Structures are given as structure tokens and as C-alpha cells.
Amino acid sequence: MPELVLIMLGWFAGGFINGVAGFGAAMVAMPLIAPFMDLSVAVPSCTLIVLTLNCQVGWTFRKYIEWHYVKGIFIGAIPGVILSVFILEYLSETYLKAGMGAFIACYALWSLYADKGGERTIRPAWGYLAGLLSSALGMAFGFNGPPLAAYIAYSGCPAPAVKGILGAGFIITGFFIVTAKAVTGQITPTVLLTYAVATPAVILGSRLGNWLSSYLNEHSYRKVLFVALAGMGLKIVWQTLAHTGLLLF
């Protein structure tokens, strides 16, 4: 099926970005696959794919993890999942898809403004909020990276430690999210088929990105990444509003 090929290509691109930057697999892949997939399939499969990818990333960078940054993520993730389970019952797929696009665009534009390339530090206590927001976003949109990436980006840790902490944080929040999706009956055969098709592609892309990351200037690359994410996010919002008739041109 052509859709499955596009899913593989979208997740390969997401894995590649994740390998270079340490996050971003779902934020890149979801805008690419969302236009031709229902969120009822895209989001649960995304949570499975991202959890598998980050198990691989976490294992690769396990010796660099600074665990005091991870504790707050674990504690904050639990209420984030519980709140999302109840709130999502009252939101339509149209608003979720438009919200996903708007969030990606706003996050990318904010990052372009805030990323000055200098040294930054943040207290580990902010991990509680990062964990809560990460699990809530993962439940709603399938990606839980932005809050954790923003939190760890200000930790002042070297790149291998950033990737290790992000991997551990994504595993924690991803486990809670996948469990909630399974308990609520969202892990269907179609979701599992999408997962089986996309997982080899995302892991291959991640390994290629890890290899290439040592040759790139991280600060310059982040600028390119955030510009691309902003464009994809705005495209999702435009397509969603046009589909609902809210845009007349």
C-alpha cells in the first residue's frame, strides 16, 4: 500500500532527526503522516514506535545519563497521563490535529528566538513540570519531546548526556502513555501493523543520524530543524482548517 511506504519514509525522517538532535522523531514524523492518517491510528502507533526507538537510544547512551534530572520526569508523568485520559474524551480529532500543528509551530518559533547557543542551566526540580507536560502531550498528539527537550536543553549537560537523559525520560513517559493507550483499547491491529512497518525505518534513520551528528554544528543544525518544524506545523493547521471549511481560500 502507498500509505505504508509513506509511513516508513516519514518515520525514517523522524528517526534521522532524532539521531542528530536527541529528540524530534515524532514531531517530524507526525506532520508528515498526519494528512493521510486518522489520529486514532497515528497517535497510538506513534507512542509504540517512539518508546521502542528511545529504548534503543537510552541503551546506547546509558553510561552518560545523569539520573537526578530523570527523577522529576518520572514523578510528573503520572498525573499528566491521568489528566489526559479524562480530558481527551471531550476533544474532537479536528481540534486535536489543529492543536498539534499549532503547538509544533509555536514551539519551533519560540526555540528559534530563544536558542542563542550559549551556556544555560536549569534546576532539576523543573523535571516535575516537564514530565507532566510530556506525558500529556504524548497522550494527545503522540509526541512528548518538546517539554523534555526544553528542560534538558537548559541543563548544561554535554551532548551525550543530553541524549541519554532524553532517552531515559522518553522511556518513562512513553511507558505510562502506552499503558494508558492499551488499557483504553486504542492498541488495535491496524495500530500494530503501522508499528511493525515503521519501527525498522525509524531505527535505521536514528542510527544514520547518530553517525552524522558528529560531523554537524549542533547550533546551526537546530536552527534548520526549528524552521522546518514551524513550516510543517503551520501546514497541518492550514490543511485541517481548510478541510473543515473554516478557510475559504
User: Nine-digit cell at 68?
Assistant: 537526578
Share of the chain above pLDDT 90, in %: 15
pLDDT tens across 180-210, in order?
A: 889 889 999 999 999 999 999 999 999 998 8
Average pLDDT of span 120-135: 79
Instruction: Work out the mean pLDDT of the chain and round it to a whole number.
Output: 81
Q: What is the 3-state secondary structure (H, E, C) of 72-135?
A: HHHHHHHHHHHHHHHHHHHCCHHHHHHHHHHHHHHHHHHHHHHCCCCCCCCCHHHHHHHHHHHH
For residue 22, pLDDT beyond 60: yes
Q: With bands split at pLDDT 50, 70 and 90, how would you rate the model's confidence at 174?
A: confident
For residue 232, pLDDT beyond 70: yes
Neighbours of 95 (CB within 10 A): 12
CA distances from 55 to 167, 174, 175 (A): 7, 10, 10
Average pLDDT of span 220-242: 74
Q: With bands split at pLDDT 50, 70 and 90, how would you rate the model's confidence at 248?
A: very low
Instruction: Give the pTM.
Output: 0.74
For residue 96, pLDDT beyond 80: no
Instruction: Specify the length of the chain in residues.
Output: 249
Task: Pick 191 or 100 by higher pLDDT.
Answer: 191
For residue 49, pLDDT beyond 90: yes
The full set of domain ranges for the chain reads: 2-91+118-220
For residue 89, pLDDT beyond 60: yes
pLDDT tens across 27-43, in order?
A: 888 888 887 788 889 88
* pLDDT score, position 166: 83
Task: Pick 8 or 120 by higher pLDDT.
Answer: 8
- What is the phi/psi pair of residue 216, to 5°? -110, 150
